[in-house]
Structures are given as structure tokens and as C-alpha cells.
A and B are shown apart, each in its own frame.
Chain A
């Protein structure tokens, strides 16, 4: 129910955005999120963009996982 899927913003049209998940396009309401730009990834939930995906944070947490992997290999 609280499922949200990352979607890539293609175009912003007022309070709505055209977004794509893989190749499939959807309309995402921007009534709950501002400062959205083409190229951003947003979390799409029940037709609404609810938050942006932060690439730096994503890379940071992945780095911690990779450190564990590297330590295990040593």
C-alpha cells in the first residue's frame, strides 16, 4: 500500500510531471513535491511524487555495503 517506485522525470507541466518507469510513462502529481526538474528521480506513490531520490545518499550507503563486501573478501 505504501509502495513507491522511483520514476525519472521527463517533463514538468505545472503541478504535474511526465515521468517514466523503465520505458512506461506516467503522470505524477506534484502537489506534494516542489523543485522538481527533468532528469530527477522521484518516488511515485498512488499518482503522486512524494520525495526525490538523492543520488549522493544512495551512493554513500552503497559504499558502506561495498566496504563490508571488501572486508569479507580480505
Chain B
């Protein structure tokens, strides 16, 4: 049994809503880091079930949204090289680079394939020995182990035409950076599937040093309501700590196989984030032992001077400093069918979610 229906039961959700209204006294702001949480919270209308003193704020957990202009411009430049196939997860292709987008380059006849799994990129490399397949590696700790596994497979098979452009990122440094920057929050609804890989120790600092409540949550409405209740109990009693609501999937130690593949293939690097510039130790680069699969080592391209869409406040939204309603473009010149910035493009971007469920 998969428990999805149990965790969608109206009676349970309303019971937590009542309980929250009874026990929640302080004015608090909770940040959901994960774009999947943002989408679920609005899809199920959860803000309307919370007492008015609890505010939810979206964070930087949408990989397409946080991928930097530099990364996109590099991918676009690769797509124009001869005999290159770009393999990418879907949302990325519409994000505007400084002078083009992958979508436009695909229309121009360049070979850009949308894939669901990095394993499809490996298969493309096997089937097209005369081509160079570049996989655009985006995503956090949930997704990066799959890329690591693919690189290890490619090495075993001695593939020489499979490359990864890594923009993979890790979660804790950006959470810390936001807090240090002064975003006013009382706790994090921590990402469920990132934590399934990493385990929960990565959040200890945030709870101990910054006195923030941290609850790792699942993605169904009762999961999220229960996580909010756990955070409220922590905050009302003045005892912030790391707890797991999503216990059916998240173990304290995380997934050891995935962790060891991650550290075998990748090492930490200072990385660029949209709206946040460079955060130390926040990105994953391919270790020298696997440099034969590192697109940045293999290809040389020149990248245009990065330019940003005018008026777009995606970066401020990702930092929790603004919401889509603060943006002059939102739902006027910027819509999912004609998006200006990355936050409107990804299905889990904060702007796309606010647009879809706006009242």
C-alpha cells in the first residue's frame, strides 16, 4: 500500500487545521525549501487552512529556477557545436539564456532531447557512437546520485562520448546563506526526498546555531499539515530541533549507497545561484578521476556576457525576500505560456505555482 490516499483524507487535514488554530499563538513564518512542497501546498489550498498568524514562504528549492545564466549560456553554446546531442530534463529548455534558449536552438535544428532519466542519456550515447551526448545535470541531492550512478556506469562501459555539465547543488549551504542574509523565518519545512538521500544530520547546525525549527516533510496534504503542526509545537514551546514527519521514507542516516556514489564522483565547489550569486561549497563538480565525463573539461566555448530579463524579481523570490504578487510583471507580461523568468517556467517555480492557483 502506498499511503497516498491516507495522507489525503479530508478529516485528518481538517483535524490538524483545528489543532493549529487552538495551539498556535505566535506570529511565525515557515519556509518550505522544496519547490515540490510549494506546489503541493498551493495545489491543496493549505494556506487557507492555517490560522492567520502562520505565514508560509517559498524558498530556493527549484533546480530549474536557481540554475545560473552562466550554466544556461554554456549549455546553449554546447548545443551549437557539431555532432553534439544535448539531453536535458524538460523544464530547462524554455529558460531564457542571455541571448537564446535551448528551445530556440532546438527550433534552429540543433539536437536537443528531453529525457526523464539520465539513463536515457546513457542509452543515447551507446546508440550514437559518432555523437557526443551532453547531459545537463541539474537538481539537488535527490537527483545528483542518479547522475553519479550514470557516470560510474559510463566508466565501466568505457564510453567516450558521454558527458555531464554539472549544475548539481546541495541544500544546506543555501539554507544557511538565506538565514545569514537575514530572511526572517522561524523554521524550515525541510525537503523530503533530499533528506531521504542525505539523512537528517545536515540540518543540525541550523537548529542549534540559528535556533530554527526543522521538520522534514512528505508531499501529501496531511504530511504538510502534520509537519507544520510539529514546527508550531517546537516554536511555541521554545525548543527548536530537527524532526522528521516523513518517516515512512526518510531514515536518520539517509541512503548510504547514494551518499557514497555522490562522494565518489563529485566534490563540493563554490557555485552560482540565480539571485544569490556565488555560495561557497554549494555545488557539485565532477572529481578529477572522472574528468573524461566532465563536459567543462572537454569542450571549449565562449559565453556571452550574462544578461538578466528586465523587471524580473525571480532572484528575490528565491531568497524569500519577495513573493510573486510583489512583481510588476506577474500575471501581466509574465505568464506560464509567455514566461519572462525561470520562476514562471518550471512547474514547481514559485511564480508558476502562484499563477496556477491564484484566486
Contacts and interface: CB of A to CB of B under 8 A. Distances in A.
A43 B4 contact: no
Given A2-B139, A45-B143, A68-B16, A61 B248 contact: yes
A15 to B, nearest CB: 9
B41 interface: no
Contacts of B261: 31-32
Interface residues of A, number: 35
Contact of A47 (B61, B116, B193): B116
Contacts of A64: 226
Interface in B1-28: 1-4, 6-7, 11-12, 15-16, 18-19
A55 B142 contact: no
B142 A2 contact: yes
Nearest to B153: A31
A43 B246 CA distance: 12
Given A46-B117, A57-B248, A69-B11, A1 B146 contact: no
A4 B245 CA distance: 16
Contacts of B317: none
Contacts of B35: 1-2
A55 B139 contact: no
Q: Is the interface of B mostly helix, strand, loop or mixed?
A: helix
B36 A43 contact: no
Interface in B242-291: 245, 247-251, 255, 257-258, 261
Contacts of A57: 247-248
Interface in B68-115: 89, 91
Contacts of B229: 68
Contacts of B245: 61
A24 interface: no
A20 B117 CA distance: 17
Contacts of A8: 2
B116 A46 contact: yes
A14 interface: no
A57 B89 CA distance: 32
Contacts of A37: none
A45 B146 contact: yes
A48 B19 contact: no
Contact of B12 (A45, A46, A53, A66): A66
Contacts of A51: 196-197, 249-251, 255
B46 interface: no
8 contacts: A2-B61, A3-B36, A4-B196, A6-B2, A32-B149, A33-B255, A46-B139, A53-B248
Interface of B: 1-4, 6-7, 11-12, 15-16, 18-19, 34-36, 61-64, 89, 91, 116-120, 138-140, 142-143, 145-146, 149, 153, 191-194, 196-197, 219, 222, 226, 229, 245, 247-251, 255, 257-258, 261, 346, 348
